[in-house]
């Protein structure tokens, strides 16, 4: 059973599979993950041009983990507008 967080290998598999046109559901099956996990990963880490980059996603995960989670502005829309 996979851990609660995606590994760098899993993120690379997602990137490669997307480039090959594999569906999110098929990616989830191949990784043994729930499809919503893949959907959330893609939503959280889509680039400005809509592309997914595994290295950028992993670096973002490590940065957020170092500060203890999501930044406050990501949790509160009004705070985000204010900032």
State the pLDDT confidence band at 20, using cuts at 50, 70 and 90: very high
Average pLDDT over residues 11-34: 96
- Token digits for 6? 């995606």
Q: What is the 3-state secondary structure (H, E, C) of 4-61?
A: CCCCHHHHHHHHHHHHCCCCHHHHHHHHCCCHHHHHHHHHHCECCCCCECHHHHHHHH
Q: Are 34 and 28 in contact (CB under 8 A)?
A: yes
Query: Tens digit of pLDDT for each residue in 24-60?
Result: 999 999 999 999 999 999 999 987 777 899 999 999 9
Say what the pTM is.
0.74
Q: Are 15 and 54 in contact (CB under 8 A)?
A: yes
- Token digits for 10? 């899993």
pLDDT of residue 49: 76
Instruction: Give the bridge partners for 46, in sequence order.
Output: 52
């Amino acid at each position: 059973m996979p851990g609660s967080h995606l590994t760098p290998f899993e993120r690379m598999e997602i990137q490669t599979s997307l480039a090959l046109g594999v569906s999110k559901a098929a990616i989830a099956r191949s990784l043994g993950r729930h499809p919503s996990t893949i959907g959330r990963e893609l939503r959280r880490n889509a680039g400005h041009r809509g592309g997914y980059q595994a290295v950028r996603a992993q670096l973002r995960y490590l940065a957020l983990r170092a500060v203890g989670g999501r930044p406050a502005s990501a949790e509160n829309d009004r705070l985000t507008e204010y900032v």
